[in-house]
Amino acid sequence: MKKNTWITKTPPCLMAVVLLAVGATTSALAAVPALQSLVTLRPLTPTELVTYSVPNLQVSAGLDTIGVGEPAYLEALVNAAIAPSNIVSVTWTLTGKPLGSAAALAVSPLGTNIPTYKMADRYNQANAPYDQVAWPGGLNTGSGTNNGRVLLRPDVTGQYTVTATIVTVGSGTTNLTQNITAGTYLGVETCELCHSGGVIAQDEYHPWSQTPHATFFSTAIDGLQSSHYSKSCISCHTVGYDTNTNAVNGGFDDVASQLGWSFPAVLSPTNWAYMQSAYPALANLANIQCENCHGPGSEHAASLGNTNISNWPRLEVTYIAADCSQCHDDTPNHIKSAEWNNSLHARTTRTPSGSASRIVCVRCHTAPGFQEYADNFGSTNVYTTNVVYEAITCQACHDPHNYNNPYQLRLGTNFANVVLSDGTSVTNAGVGAFCMNCHHIRNGSAASNVANYQQGILTWPGGSSFGTHDGPQGEMLEGVGAITYGQTLPSSAHRYALTNTCVDCHMQTVASTDPAFLQAGGHTMEMSYNVVTNGVTNKVDQVAVCIQCHGPSLTSFNFPVQDYDGDGIIEGVQTEVQNLLNKLSTLLPPSGYQANVANYVADGLVKSPSSQTNWPAKFLNAAYNWQFVNNDGSYGIHNAPFAVGLLKASIADLTGDANNDGLPDAWQIDYFGSITNPLAAPNASPAGDGIPNWLKYSLGLDPMIPGITLPDGVVWANTSSIGGATNTIHIYTAAEVAFDTQVGTTYQLQGISTLGGGWQNVGTNIAGTGSTISYLTPTRSNTQQFYRVVHTP
């Protein structure tokens, strides 16, 4: 209050100077990007060895617990908003290492051609603070201590600490630290001692022992997995397998060499039993075990549960995709990770994590958040306030320790009990119901969302917002959860025809010979892919799964069904739905708050509606349905009848024209009993005089009373509907010319009575609107007339 008083006493000229100074300071500060940065361990997968031409490097899961002699590819990441030329230096220091270690930092073998690992950092830069490697001056100098990347190869067990100092121009300086635990491999028998239940730790051993990971090697050497299983396969199916001469750390290859074990010459059912009896220490390191994913356990086991020890638990528990990709990213045979890399799940925004106001968002936007939601399914208090960001990785959906659920999905049978925003319990979605735990409306039922939004009441636990949020696919597929205006709208059979709904289509199997391989289906969850021809990128729909029901003639999702938008042309269903979305948007008010609710009127422009709390309810209802259909993203493919029904019902509520044919429903019902009666069609002439309904409606005439056609081409009609029995009206024949237009193009209608003569302009230039334009031209003075439309450009 005192500050306000002081301002009011400041002379006007001084006040202007003060405000100018504040504005200039704010602008200058905003122009300097913050030094958001971190040091991390860069994974390296088998596919990347080929992609980036580094075949002799060791694979890395990017864990902070690694075996002695294994590589730690460290890198410093910074905000891409910082110009590379403003990064003065990145100086690395090995600030801590175990007694007896001679390890030192070295030049990283990962060059500038190798990007950051996480897809969310590569493709979601607007929301990702760590999205470029901090090369000094934008260049890889080749120096081990003045570079964006370095290599550490631990030589003894224990703790290592690496510090990076980043110096910039304008964004400041920072020191970042990364701890690394180096250990040796012990095998599952050691892990079982504590992790099989009891007072020390939760039982992870017994659930894991039922998974395919726990038995893959043993069944494979017995010939039960494949006839061509060989020694080249076992690096992913055993613990700590790394034949690099530096990596002597108790892994499977080290023990096999010590014991003299050789891969069996013949795959037979007795091989595993023989290994167990003759080489029990080696069998203890066989199959895909705890240490494959968590790192070597010697340091963890040596701590004996002492949580006060530095860098506890000295064992990695991570949600990073690379933990799985160290094996599942080995194309063209092991493709799960390569598919996932091309999915939107790999690029989820960082925005919700770590914010107390967004604690309910993390369940669908971060991998640890979804695990927490799944582990506490049904509880009302299942969210933390500081979830570390990780995209929707393998570990988000799949539980590596439990094979009781289909596909090791989290939630068990609970995913079949998903309840949508309006209270609908989904029972017919199969495994697709798992997807609906996130892909459904997050703001409550439609009616309550509109009502609560108007009153400023919470629509979700973190605040009040309008509409469906981003993922109403569950409701769209089931045909529920929107504003139906009391109508019973038709719905597609997709929800019944597909056993596993979402999964059957979005995770369809794609052959390696298909152009869509790794780009659509599978774990990409994509239904389309891009094809580049002569430098031009074209989007292609993956319709292989669709033709099973819709027939082999289907080549695109945008196939013609009906004239849903009523323009007289049957276009593709997605085009028809988009046209209806555009039509509905023109009937809604523009963005921008208006204090007077009476000022909210339709602006006639195609737009993405931006609602305000004091919009009249009819606009909010229609805007909700616009968002429902638009945010579903399929534009009718998930449920065309329901999407079209919603849009037409919304248009009808705002215009009184449910079938969007240009004639008010009330007028059609009054004369013909139903809007679907063929006699009610705009171009019908139920009176038999050749004059269409649309013209008689526009002139206020009774469509059931025929006019009298006179020799001069005039139609004479008497009707009391335009003001009295004595009123008369002449209706002359006319030509309607309809043509599609584009914004930015100017059109001119031209006419000619005899071909070969000179074309004459009819009317004035018409600016394109992006939709169909109808133009009526008089013909009473011509025996015949030809028309054309020219355009510029």
310-321 residue pLDDT tens: 877 888 899 999
| 642 and 773 share one domain | no
Residues recorded for the chain: 793
Lowest mean pLDDT among 27-36, 515-524, 718-727: 718-727
Instruction: Please list the alpha-helical segments (H only) found in 75-222.
Output: 119-123, 188-194, 205-208, 216-221
Calculate what percentage of the chain has a pLDDT beyond 70: 89
Higher pLDDT, residue 462 or 132: 132
- 689 shares its domain with 629: no
Contact 442, 421 (CB under 8 A): yes
- Tell me which amino acid residue 25 is: T
Q: How confident is the model over 103-137, as pLDDT tens digits?
A: 999 999 999 999 999 988 887 665 667 788 888 88
Helix axes 617-632, 446-455, angle to 10 degrees: 130
Residue 609 maps to a domain: yes
* Beta pairing partners, 139: none
Q: What pLDDT score does 738 carry?
A: 85
Q: Does any domain span residue 500?
A: no
Is 161 inside any structural domain? yes
How large is the average pLDDT for residues 465-483?
92
Gap between the Cα atoms of 668 and 337, Å rounded: 58
pLDDT in tens, 578-597: 999 999 999 999 988 899 99
With CA atoms as reference, report the closest residue to 443 among 471, 412, 421, 416. Answer: 421
Report the pLDDT value the prediction gives residue 777, as an integer from 0 to 100: 76
Domain with 148 in it? 37-183
Beta carbons of 772 and 739 less than 8 angstroms apart: yes
Q: Would you place residue 31 in the very low, low, confident or very high pLDDT band (cuts 50, 70, 90)?
A: low
For residue 644, give the nearest of 587, 589, 557, 574 by alpha carbon: 574
Mean pLDDT of 659-678: 87
pTM: 0.80
Indicate whether 225 and 269 sit together in one domain.
yes
Instruction: Output the average pLDDT for the chain.
Output: 86
Q: Is 170 left (phi over 0), alpha (psi -120 to 50) or beta?
A: left
- Report the pLDDT value the prediction gives residue 288, as an integer from 0 to 100: 97
pLDDT at residue 352 greater than cutoff 50: yes
> Residue 425 burial by CB count (10 A; 0-12/13-18/19+): exposed, middle or buried?
exposed
Evaluate whether residue 479 is within a structural domain: no
Provide the pLDDT for residue 7.
30
Cα 282 from chain centroid?
A: 44
Do 262 and 165 share a domain, yes or no? no
Q: Does residue 735 or residue 279 have the better pLDDT?
A: 279
pLDDT at residue 725, rounded to an integer: 46
Q: Which pLDDT belongs to residue 458?
A: 84
Q: State yes or no: pLDDT of 13 exceeds 50.
A: no
User: Within this chain, do residues 583 and 637 fall inside the same structural domain, yes or no?
Assistant: yes
- The Cα 106–Cα 83 span in angstroms is 26
- Shared domain check, 204 and 119: no
What's residue 356's pLDDT? 67
Residue 63 lies in a domain: yes
Residue 132 to residue 243: CA distance in whole angstroms: 32
Average pLDDT, stretch 19-29?
Answer: 36
Using CA of residue 194, residue 200, residue 201, residue 205, what is the dihedral sign? positive
**pLDDT beyond 80 at 139:** no
User: Is residue 250 located within the same domain as residue 284?
Assistant: yes
With bands split at pLDDT 50, 70 and 90, how would you rate the model's confidence at 784? confident
| Pair of tokens at residue 404 | 């009781």
Residue 683 has pLDDT above 80, yes or no: yes
Confidence of residue 1 (pLDDT cuts 50, 70, 90): very low
Same-domain status, 46 and 118:
yes
Rounded mean pLDDT, 8-12: 32
Q: Return the pLDDT at 26.
A: 40
What whole-number distance in Å separates Cα of residue 785 and Cα of residue 529? 48
The type of residue at 63 is: L
Rounded CA separation 520/516 (Å): 5
Q: Does residue 518 surpass a pLDDT of 80?
A: yes
**213 vs 202, which has greater pLDDT?**
213
Poorest-pLDDT segment among 139-143, 435-439, 684-688, 787-791: 139-143
d(CA 158, CA 101) in angstroms, rounded, equals 9
Beta bridge partners of 152: 72
pLDDT tens, residue by residue, 487-502: 999 999 898 889 999 9
Region 608-637: mean pLDDT is 95
Mean pLDDT, rounded, for 550-576: 92
759 within domain boundaries = yes
Query: CA-based Rg of the chain, rounded to a whole angstrom?
Result: 34
For residues 286, 301, 397, 72, the Cα torsion angle rounded to the nearest 10 degrees is -80
Claim to verify: residue 155 and residue 245 sit in the same structural domain: no
Judgement on whether residues 285 and 162 belong to the same structural domain of the protein? no
For residue 20, name the pLDDT band (cuts at 50, 70, 90). Answer: very low
Q: Is residue 478 part of a domain?
A: no
Task: Enumerate the β-bridge partners of residue 419.
Answer: 425
Indicate if the pLDDT at residue 717 is higher than 70. no
Look at residues 655, 674, 708 and tell me which one is the last residue of a structural domain. Answer: 655
Amino acid at 664: P
Tokens 């590569």, residue? 122
Strand ranges, E, within 664-733: 708-709, 714-718, 728-732
Domain boundary among 167, 183, 199: 183
Question: Of 136-150, 161-175, 347-361, 590-604, which gets the smallest average pLDDT?
Answer: 347-361
The per-type count for the chain, helices as H runs and strands as E runs, is 28, 19
* pLDDT, position 722: 41
Contact yes or no for 743/769 (Cβ under 8 A): yes
Amino acid at 401: H
| Residue 306 included in any domain | no
Q: Higher confidence at residue 382 or residue 271?
A: 271
* In the predicted structure, residue 714 carries a pLDDT above the cut 60: no
Q: What is the mean pLDDT of residues 602-609?
A: 92
Residue 10 has pLDDT above 50, yes or no: no
Q: What is the CATH number of the domain that holds 110?
A: 2.60.40.10
Three-state DSSP state, 602 = coil
pLDDT at 27 over 60: no
What tens digit of pLDDT does each residue of 142-155 get?
677 789 999 999 99
Per-residue pLDDT reduced to its tens digit, 284-294: 999 999 999 99
Split into its structural domains, the chain has a count of 6
- Boundary-marking domain end, from 124, 157, 183: 183
pLDDT in the model for residue 362:
84
154 and 84 part of one domain: yes
Residues 84 and 157 in one domain: yes
The residue whose two tokens read 């009176």 is: 687
For the chain, helix, strand, coil in percent to 5 are 30, 15, 50
**pLDDT (tens digit, 9 = 90+) per residue, 33-92?**
888 899 999 999 999 999 999 999 999 999 999 999 999 999 999 988 888 899 999 999
Task: Say whether pLDDT at 621 is over 50.
Answer: yes
